[in-house]
Copies of this chain bind each other. A is one copy, B any other.
Amino acid sequence: MDTGIANLLGALSLAVMDRIEQGARDVVGRGGETPAALIVIGYGRGMTNDKLRRILDLSHSGTVRLVDRLVTDGLVERRPGKDGREVALHLTTKGAASRKELLASRISAVASLLDVLSPAETKRLGTLIHDLLARQDTSEMDRFTICRMCDDQCCSNCPLPTSKGKGDR
Binding site for B on A (CB under 8 A): 1-18, 20, 57, 106-107, 109-111, 113-114, 116-117, 121-126, 128-133, 135-136, 145-151, 153-154, 157, 159
Contacts and interface: CB of A to CB of B under 8 A. Distances in A.
Given A6-B111, A122-B2, A11 B133 contact: yes
A146 B126 CA distance: 22
Which of A8, A123, A150, A157 counts the most B-chain CB atoms under 10 A from its CB?
A8
A113 B136 contact: yes
Contact of A110 (B7, B57, B107): B7
Chain B CB within 10 A, most for which of A11, A17, A154: A11
Contacts of A7: 107, 110, 150-151, 153-154
B9 A129 contact: yes
A89 to B, nearest CB: 21
A12 B9 CA distance: 10
B9 A16 contact: yes
Nearest to A6: B110
A154 B11 contact: yes
Nearest to A129: B8
A111 B2 CA distance: 8
A130 B110 CA distance: 16
Given A116-B135, A116-B136, A129 B12 contact: yes
A137 B159 CA distance: 31
Nearest to A8: B129
Contact of A10 (B106, B122, B130, B132): B106
A14 B126 contact: no
B130 A121 contact: no
